[in-house]
Structures are given as C-alpha cells and as structure tokens.
Amino acid sequence: MIAGAVRQRLAGNGEVDRWGYDAGMAAVLDAVAPWRWPVTVGGVEAVPPSGPAVVVLGRGLDPLAPLVAASALRRATGRPARFLGLPDVGPVGPLLRRLGGAVDRPEELAGLLRAGHLVVVPLTRTLRSRPGPLDEDALTPALDEGAVVLPAALAGSELRRSWRLLVGPAVAARAEGPAALADAVRSRVAALLDG
C-alpha cells in the first residue's frame, strides 16, 4: 500500500504548490519516517498553530537533520513544515522540494513566510554540540514578514537511529535589527543544545 502511494506520488499525480511541495508525498514520508528515524519532540506547544514561523535548528553533522526535523514537526503540529538548504540540482533537488525543501535564499524564505508557512532554517553543521554560525541576514525575511522565530535543537544521529527535537520559546524580534535577533537566537539554540 505504501509502495503504491509512493509510486503514484513519484509519477506526478499529486497536488504541488508553487515551491514544489507535494503534501501527499510528504505525508507518505511522514508515515514511514518514524520507522527509520524515530523522533521525540519536546516544546511543540511553542509552535504557533498557523501563520509564518521560522524554526532555527541547531544540529550535528547529519545532512538529513533538516528533513527529519521538518517531518517530525509536521507530525507533532499537524502543520505543513518546510526546510531550507536543499541542493538546487537534479535529481535530489526536485525530490527534496516535493518533501518540503527549499533553496536557502532570502527571497525563497520571504515567499514561504508570506504564504504563512512553518520553515526550518538549519544552522551550519558542526562537530561539537555548539550551534553553527547564523548570518544576520538569514532572519531578515522573518523580521520583514513578522514571523515567529523559534530556537530548536536536534540531538541524536543517523548511526543511533533515534533523535530528540526540542523547540524553545519564541525569541522576541528586537528593534536593534537582524544582527541582534541572530545573536539572541544562536544563544537560545546553544542553551537547548547544552540542555
């Protein structure tokens, strides 16, 4: 049954939004992902039930972390969740777009937020359990669109096959601008990773 649904989605029979997201194909992923990548989610009550929101994700080295986090957030909140950072090359890029991926460009994030999406913005991968850098301009679209900005940390690994996603309370947008917001978010992500 699941294999048939996947074949149907890959054949292009699903509804696809203007960014390439196929909710039906993402639902198939979300149904099978817990078997491969079990994720417990904490702090989900901090995620607003609707409206534009950015989840800034601290993570380790695993390249699948943003996809895993978006899938876990969809299951935990019932909201569609997107993630930035997909490679803009075929065949991986178009497939990841259908599963919620978007290219890490300010204009793409701004468009998703204007449409009211929940978007995972991963920090750079690091060897240690410290958050990677966050370019101050990365959150400019969130400020411009009045999005809720939430820090989050994903702990676990592909090798252990178990993960824990912890979402923290929203970080207040600061009048000082995107640099101050980026610093505050990074500090909150570091606290969650230290957990």
Nearest to 79 by CA among 116, 32, 35: 116
**What are the tens digits of pLDDT across the range 38-78?**
899 999 999 999 999 999 999 876 788 899 999 999 999 99
**Average confidence (pLDDT) over 88-115:** 90
**What are the tens digits of pLDDT across the range 110-169?**
999 999 999 999 987 666 667 777 887 889 999 999 999 999 998 876 566 678 999 999
The label of the residue with tokens 């993630």 reads 83
What predicted TM-score, i.e. pTM, was given to this entire model? 0.87
The span from the CA of 195 to the CA of 179, in Å, is 24
pLDDT exceeds 80 at position 31? yes
**Cβ atoms of 174 and 180 closer than 8 Å:** yes
Strand ranges (DSSP E) for the chain? 39-42, 53-58, 81-84, 101-102, 118-122, 148-157, 162-167
pLDDT exceeds 50 at position 2? no
**Average confidence (pLDDT) over 20-37:** 90
Specify the pLDDT at position 6.
47
Residues spanned by the domain of 167 = 2-194
What's the CATH code of the domain at 122?
Answer: 3.40.1130.10
The span from the CA of 124 to the CA of 101, in Å, is 16
Specify the pLDDT at position 119.
97
Domain tally, the chain: 1
Look at the chain and count its residues. 195
Using the Cα atoms of residue 186, residue 73, residue 7 and residue 36 in order, give the sign of their dihedral: positive
Specify the pLDDT at position 126.
66
Q: 105: how many CB neighbours lie within 10 A of its CB? A: 12
Output 68 or 3, whichever has higher pLDDT: 68
**Cβ atoms of 82 and 112 closer than 8 Å:** yes
